[in-house]
Structure 1
């Protein structure tokens, strides 16, 4: 994998696909988008925790897309960008951790509903919620790893 030097702060263009922290952009899109889709396709109840999960997944998806295009276009060459990169991905990891815990608690609460009529519908939503919890924790891990590797890169620059 390519590493950055002090003269070249962050990779730009196609080189973002060859540097370690920036390789996490694509999986963050995929798993964050899956959380968004899975939560949106279930019966959103209770509103408050599920609304937080939707906010986090949409916010992180949009911001990661923006971040990706900033890196792709090469607008990230100022000396402040390594710190911003680390900060954003740490905040995203903390947001996703909070959303993952809230989603897991709501999903555990819905387990009792799988035996109530209509069983098929409740079981379908329960399984979608379980998948969303798994994807949410994977997204949390990806954002956390991205933050750690970005911090290492920031300290090297």
Structure 2
């Protein structure tokens, strides 16, 4: 019987990373993280708001996730258990970063909702969309962390 979870104790390389769990989550991480990055970048930055932190988290996670995916795709990890542990550590760290960014930008949107006429502006709607995609990114990174931990324990 075929399984898309990959072999236990095995780190895939090449095109196999797009067919195995947890590596299949690289693409949604990049898509949703890129959406957060683009949505925050297209709004205005009012002093004392957390948008700079959110865009920093989004940009950092986007770049590192892309590099991490390329390491696995090129086979540079050489199927060592230390890479599986590093995969868990990075995705857990990225989950915490995205969770903090999600809470901050959601709090900022709540504050903006009390400003008269702010709910009718395009910037407010973009910030709300960024909140949604930031929480979705957090969820995808969390799921990737759980499945990476399961794979790491199988080594």
**Pairing partner for 2:144 from 118, 140, 146:** 146
1 CA distance for matches of 2:116 and 2:66? 36
Which residue number corresponds to residue 110 of structure 1? 112
Where structure 1 has 5 or more consecutive residues not aligned to the other structure, the ranges are none
Which residue number corresponds to residue 7 of structure 2? 4
Q: Deviations over 1:3-60 (max 9, x none)?
A: 2233xx3000010011110010000000000000000101122445111101100000
Which residue number corresponds to residue 153 of structure 2? 155
Judge conservation of contact 1:114–1:126 (CA < 8 Å) in 2. no
Higher fraction of helix: 1
1:114 is displaced (CA, Å) by 5.1
Runs of 4+ in 1 over 3 A off after TM superposition: none
Which residue number corresponds to residue 62 of structure 2? 61
**Pairing partner for 1:81 from 75, 78, 83:** 83
TM-score by length of 2: 0.92
Matched, 1:18 2:16: no
1 CA distance for matches of 2:138 and 2:77? 24
Judge conservation of contact 1:83–1:151 (CA < 8 Å) in 2. yes
2 CA distance for matches of 1:111 and 1:46? 17
TM-score by length of 1: 0.91
1 CA distance for matches of 2:100 and 2:38? 18
Judge conservation of contact 1:46–1:106 (CA < 8 Å) in 2. no
Paired residue total? 151
SS in 2 for 1:80: helix
